[in-house]
Amino acid sequence: MSEPTREEIKERTAKIVRRLGYVVFMGGGLLIFIPMLIGVGSGISNDRIWDPVTGRPVTRDQRTVDCKEEARRLLVQAGEQESLTGKWDEPYRAWLVRCQEDHPTLYDMLAETRQDLLEK
C-alpha cells in the first residue's frame, strides 16, 4: 500500500472536522430548542405566558383583566416616566380595547395622561 498523499490527509481531516462541527452545532441547537419547546407547551397549558413588552402575564381569557387596577397601574407608571414610550403605550392600547367602553371616566384620565406624556 502506498502512503496517503498530503492532499488526501488534508481532505480526510477536513471531512472529520466538518462532521464534528455538524454534530456540535446540531446538538447545541437541540439542547436549546427542546427545553424551549417544553416551556412553550407548559406555558400554554397552564396559562403562564408573559408579554415581553410589559412583563405581565397574558391569559387566553381576557375577561379576567381588572380594568380599574390596570388603569391605576398605568397612571402610576406614567408618573415615573419622562415621556411617552412603547412600554407605556402598548398596555394603554390593550386597555383601550378591553376597557374603554365600560369605564369612560378612566378613559378620560388615561387619554389626558397620554397627551401629557406626548407633550413632555
Task: Please give the pLDDT value at position 63.
Answer: 54
From first to last of its 120 residues, the chain has per-residue pLDDT tens of 678 899 999 999 999 999 999 999 999 999 999 999 998 888 877 777 776 766 666 666 555 668 899 999 999 999 888 888 888 888 899 889 888 888 999 999 999 999 998 887
Cα–Cα dist 106/100, whole Å: 8
| CB neighbour class for 101 (10 Å; exposed up to 12, middle 13-18, buried from 19) | exposed
- Measured between alpha carbons, how far is 50 from 52 in angstroms, rounded to an integer? 6
The domain in which residue 114 lies consists of 67-119
pLDDT at 60: 60
pTM of the prediction?
0.50
| Residue 62 confidence (pLDDT) | 52
pLDDT of residue 46: 78
Residue at 110 is within a domain: yes
What is the domain count for the chain? 2
Assess if residue 62 is contained within a domain.
Answer: no
What pLDDT shows up at residue 54?
Answer: 62
Q: Supply 120's cell numbers.
A: 413632555
Q: Are residues 80 and 115 in the same domain?
A: yes
pLDDT score at 1: 65
Are 53 and 82 contained in the same domain? no
- Residues 45, 72 within the same domain: no
Looking at the fold, whether 89 and 115 belong to one and the same domain comes out as: yes
| pLDDT at site 110 | 94
Query: What's the pLDDT score for residue 23?
Result: 97
Identify whether residues 17 and 41 lie together within a single domain: yes
- Answer whether residue 51 is part of any domain: yes
> Looking at the structure, do residues 71 and 115 belong to the same domain, yes or no?
yes
Using the Cα atoms of residue 44, residue 47, residue 67 and residue 74 in order, give the sign of their dihedral: negative
- Say yes or no: 71 and 113 in one domain: yes
Residue 1 lies in a domain: no
> Is residue 19 a part of any domain in this protein?
yes
pLDDT at residue 114, rounded to an integer: 92
